[in-house]
């Protein structure tokens, strides 16, 4: 994980920045007074550089202008440089307070500006923000390097680290000192001058390339929507989905037609319902070939260059590969550990997927089809198989999953029963987009715990996927409480239509709120350890645990009510939902593992081994692992694999690594009575509140009382073992 000082490269990742409050800028110089009696109109203060007057430091979105970010970034970087220079050049010998704590306090204005900037760049970008991001990504990388590669500053940190046992520090302070030392070493503080210059050049180029990649992905996913001429071609879609497609076409200047917008995954939701096989193929191929078709959005060359530069940087730091560098600071620790897990799971997952495919092929043949199951057929025939096996129609479920009911009676209710939280929606705070909603979050004793921002709908200005971020993080040093946001990409229905979720979207809502809880429950002293600032292969674990409440019988029955009649979901249908939980796990596990091995294979290359053709390398890698099963392509292909351009490089394995802990924790909850306050309070006090202030695996042991067991994961995924 990056240090408190790595504000610059936080970009559009789901990981929040540290909690900072903006500091006041210097007063503007006064202009000449006009001769007229009326005073001259003063330019509006840059809202990014003055402290927020709103509760908990909530941003003044109503006062923030896109064009303010450039000047705010320049000014806050300069301020941070002055602060760090003063720390590094102090005449007094280094102490924990005048060096480490001073660094924790520094950069508050930069923290606030970058946090807002990159959050908005992910959630609601525009041409101005994209231009600023291109300009400032290398500048911010250089700013970070200037700090991490400062020999005088590192000398003070190293001296303190050497004498850490004699400083009389509490456990969290000792860990903070150790993390600063490790972060500086891993950033290149021990390199010689020539190596430092090369490190700076690599980081600047990577910042530029990664920005280009991410902006290409968003631009192409918006440009790749599939235009459909007639309503008849959409046979199988719900009335709400057809209405949304008509609205999307109208906004694109194609009134009277229908536009199927894409999501940034290989599979696309409409494929489960569309009866028109040719249209399914069009949609799937439009999705699968993104980033590799040549032209302005082609990402294949960018990815190859990024991987090569990462490998070179790892070599500079003394690591054989970028993966070895990343994993050393994760709970997995080694490439061998990750490879071993992936190799163990892959054969069983593919075998399971092949069995599922064979069952679907029987349906095709029974219906008189004369074709073999293809990737664009999978979701459609999986739904037929689900209906056949469980008499469960996914579309029939949607009327019971209206978004407000799921959120308030499901997600929030589970948090109330488990942790004593309560929520009150407020409409008086400004938002950055009309679709955004805001809630005050109160603890069991009635005190305000946090502010929660919900941004649930897809739009062209928003990157794909789902994530949590923080505008303010809790920490005692600066006296701040959390302001956190969840972002999803649920297709927005037509005007006046209800938002009816798929069951996958329901699960995602619970998952992302698990991240939000991790941020809101933070109870640490230092910003460096706040909220989700934990190893990458641990950060998904608490959010995955929170998914269990989506199917907890009492919670599911509470929120799953028909949006028109209010009638509860029939018990028989509810039982089928629970019975079908393991359904299609062969496909789900295989597509995930395929993406994970691509990520590892790319990042386990040396700088001279990176192929020019990353798409061909991808195919070779899948074949080597036995994951080259055409009906189940990777969840993300290399050229639109945004996770590994961002914070999940050599880390996409984290979801299933974390799921070992998750599945075992679900078993713990079930064995201890399930949805009970005492269980929630225990999970909160031993793990959710501790952030990164303690070793991650020790946090699991504190919670569970033992080391993790992989068997619950294998059973959940239908992988035997």
Mean pLDDT by 10 residues, the chain (721 residues): 34 28 29 37 76 96 96 97 97 98 97 96 96 96 96 98 97 97 97 97 96 94 93 94 92 94 91 96 96 93 97 98 97 96 94 97 97 98 94 89 98 98 98 98 98 96 93 96 97 91 95 98 97 94 97 94 95 86 92 97 97 95 96 96 92 94 96 97 98 96 95 85 49
| Of 552, 463, 472, the residue nearest 507 (C-alpha) | 552
121 and 55 in a single domain? The answer is: yes
Distance CA 137, CA 645 (A): 14
CB 642, CB 636: distance < 8 Å: yes
Distance CA 517, CA 392 (A): 32
Q: Is residue 206 part of a domain?
A: no
Distance CA 139, CA 142 (A): 5
Q: Is residue 204 part of a domain?
A: no
156 and 20 in a single domain? The answer is: yes
Catalytic residue among 79, 312, 505, 512: 512
Q: What is the pLDDT of residue 41?
A: 42
447 and 507 in a single domain? The answer is: yes
**Which residues, in sequence order, are CB contacts of 137 under 8 Å at separation 6+?**
11, 207, 208, 210, 211
CATH number at residue 699: 1.10.1370.40
Q: Is residue 114 part of a domain?
A: yes
518 and 560 in a single domain? The answer is: yes
Q: Is residue 540 part of a domain?
A: yes
- Domain region containing 178: 8-25+46-148+150-190
573 and 668 in a single domain? The answer is: yes
Q: Is residue 200 part of a domain?
A: no
**Which residues, in sequence order, are CB contacts of 442 under 8 Å at separation 6+?**
421, 422, 423, 424, 448, 449
- Cα distances from 390 to residues 221, 319, 500, 572, 580, in angstroms, run 35, 51, 22, 10, 7
Q: Kind of pairing, strands 483-490 and 448-457?
A: parallel
Distance CA 48, CA 108 (A): 12
**Which residues, in sequence order, are CB contacts of 577 under 8 Å at separation 6+?**
392, 397, 503, 551, 556
Distance CA 413, CA 114 (A): 33
432 and 376 in a single domain? The answer is: no
3-state secondary structure of 8: helix
Verify whether residue 512 is a known catalytic residue.
yes
Tell me 400's DSSP state: G
Distance CA 207, CA 655 (A): 25
Distance CA 540, CA 518 (A): 10
439 and 570 in a single domain? The answer is: yes
67 and 139 in a single domain? The answer is: yes
**Which residues, in sequence order, are CB contacts of 281 under 8 Å at separation 6+?**
374, 376
Cα atoms found within 13 Å of the Cα of residue 690, Cβ hemisphere only: 24
373 and 406 in a single domain? The answer is: no
CB 441, CB 452: distance < 8 Å: yes
Cα 215–chain centre separation: 16
| Structural domain count of the chain | 4
555 and 457 in a single domain? The answer is: yes
Q: What is the pLDDT of residue 38?
A: 41
Distance CA 81, CA 5 (A): 11
Query: Of 133, 166, 190, which residue constitutes the final position of a domain?
Result: 190
Q: Is residue 684 part of a domain?
A: yes
Query: Of 627, 652, 677, which residue constitutes the final position of a domain?
Result: 652
Say if pTM beats, i.e. exceeds, 0.75. yes
Q: Is residue 201 part of a domain?
A: no
Distance CA 460, CA 257 (A): 18
640 and 702 in a single domain? The answer is: no
489 and 410 in a single domain? The answer is: yes
- Cα distances from 386 to residues 545, 570, 577, in angstroms, run 25, 18, 10
Distance CA 286, CA 266 (A): 9
Query: Of 621, 652, 683, which residue constitutes the final position of a domain?
Result: 652
Q: Is residue 205 part of a domain?
A: no
């Amino acid at each position: 994980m990056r240090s408190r000082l790595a504000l610059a490269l936080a970009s559009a990742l789901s990981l929040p920045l540290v909690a900072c409050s903006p500091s006041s800028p210097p007063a503007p110089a006064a202009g000449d007074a006009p001769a007229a009696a009326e005073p001259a109109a003063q330019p509006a203060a840059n809202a990014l550089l003055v402290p927020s007057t709103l509760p908990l430091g909530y941003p003044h979105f109503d006062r923030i202008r896109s064009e303010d970010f450039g000047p705010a970034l320049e000014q806050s970087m300069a301020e941070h440089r002055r602060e760090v220079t003063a720390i590094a050049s102090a005449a007094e010998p280094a102490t924990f307070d005048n060096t480490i704590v001073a660094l924790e306090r520094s950069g508050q204005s930069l923290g606030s500006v970058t946090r807002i900037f990159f959050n908005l760049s992910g959630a609601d970008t525009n041409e101005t923000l994209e231009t600023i991001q291109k300009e400032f990504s290398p500048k911010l990388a250089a700013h970070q390097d200037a700090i991490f590669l400062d020999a005088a500053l590192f000398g003070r940190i190293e001296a303190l680290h050497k004498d850490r046992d004699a400083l009389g520090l509490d456990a969290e302070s000792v860990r903070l000192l150790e993390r600063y030392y490790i972060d500086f070493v891993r950033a290149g503080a021990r390199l010689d001058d020539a190596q430092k210059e090369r490190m700076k050049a690599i980081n600047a180029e990577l910042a530029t390339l990664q920005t280009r990649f991410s902006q290409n992905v968003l631009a192409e996913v918006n440009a790749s929507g599939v235009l459909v001429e007639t309503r008849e071609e959409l046979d199988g879609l719900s009335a709400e989905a057809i209405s949304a497609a008509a609205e999307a076409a109208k906004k694109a200047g194609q009134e009277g037609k229908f536009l199927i917008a894409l999501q940034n995954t290989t599979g696309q939701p409409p494929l489960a319902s569309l009866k028109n096989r040719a249209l399914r193929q069009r949609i799937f191929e439009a999705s699968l070939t993104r980033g590799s078709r040549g032209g302005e959005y082609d990402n294949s060359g960018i990815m190859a260059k990024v991987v090569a530069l990462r490998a070179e940087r790892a070599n500079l730091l003394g690591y054989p590969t970028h993966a070895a560098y990343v994993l050393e600071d994760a709970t997995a620790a080694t490439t061998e550990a990750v490879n071993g897990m992936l190799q163990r799971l892959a054969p069983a997952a593919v075998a399971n997927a092949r069995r599922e495919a064979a069952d679907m092929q029987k349906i095709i043949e029974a219906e008189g089809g004369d074709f073999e199951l293809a990737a664009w057929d999978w979701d459609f025939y999986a739904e037929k198989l689900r209906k056949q096996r469980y008499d469960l129609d996914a579309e029939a479920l949607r009327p019971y999953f209206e978004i407000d009911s799921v959120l308030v009676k499901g997600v929030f209710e589970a948090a109330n029963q488990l942790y004593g939280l309560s929520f009150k929606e407020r409409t008086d705070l400004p938002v950055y987009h009309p679709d955004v909603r805001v809630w005050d979050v109160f603890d069991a004793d009635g005190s305000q715990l946090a502010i929660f921002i919900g941004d649930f709908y897809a739009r062209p200005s928003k990157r794909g996927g789902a994530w949590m971020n923080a505008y303010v993080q809790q920490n005692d040093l600066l006296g701040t409480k959390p302001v956190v946001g969840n972002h999803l990409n649920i297709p927005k229905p037509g005007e006046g239509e209800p938002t009816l979720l798929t069951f996958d979207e329901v699960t995602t809502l619970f998952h992302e709120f698990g991240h939000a809880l991790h941020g809101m429950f933070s109870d640490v002293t230092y910003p460096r350890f706040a909220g989700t600032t934990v190893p990458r292969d641990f950060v998904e674990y608490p959010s995955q645990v929170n998914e269990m409440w989506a199917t907890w019988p009492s919670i599911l029955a509470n929120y799953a009510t028909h949006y028109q009649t209010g009638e509860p979901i029939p018990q028989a249908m509810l039982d089928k939902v629970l019975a079908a939980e393991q359904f299609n796990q062969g496909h789900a596990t295989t597509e995930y593992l395929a993406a994970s091995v691509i990520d590892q294979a790319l990042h386990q290359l040396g700088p001279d081994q990176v192929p020019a053709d990353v798409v061909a390398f991808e195919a070779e890698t899948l074949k080597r692992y036995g994951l080259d099963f055409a009906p189940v392509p990777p969840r993300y292909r290399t050229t639109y694999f945004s996770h590994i351009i961002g914070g999940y490089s050599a880390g996409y394995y984290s979801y299933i690594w974390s799921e070992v802990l998750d599945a075992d924790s679900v078993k713990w909850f079930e064995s201890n009575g399930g949805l009970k306050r005492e269980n929630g309070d225990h999970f909160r006090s031993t793990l959710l509140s501790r952030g990164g202030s303690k070793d991650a695996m020790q946090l699991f042991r504190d919670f569970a009382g033992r080391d993790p067991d992989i068997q619950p994961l294998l059973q959940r995924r239908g992988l035997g073992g």
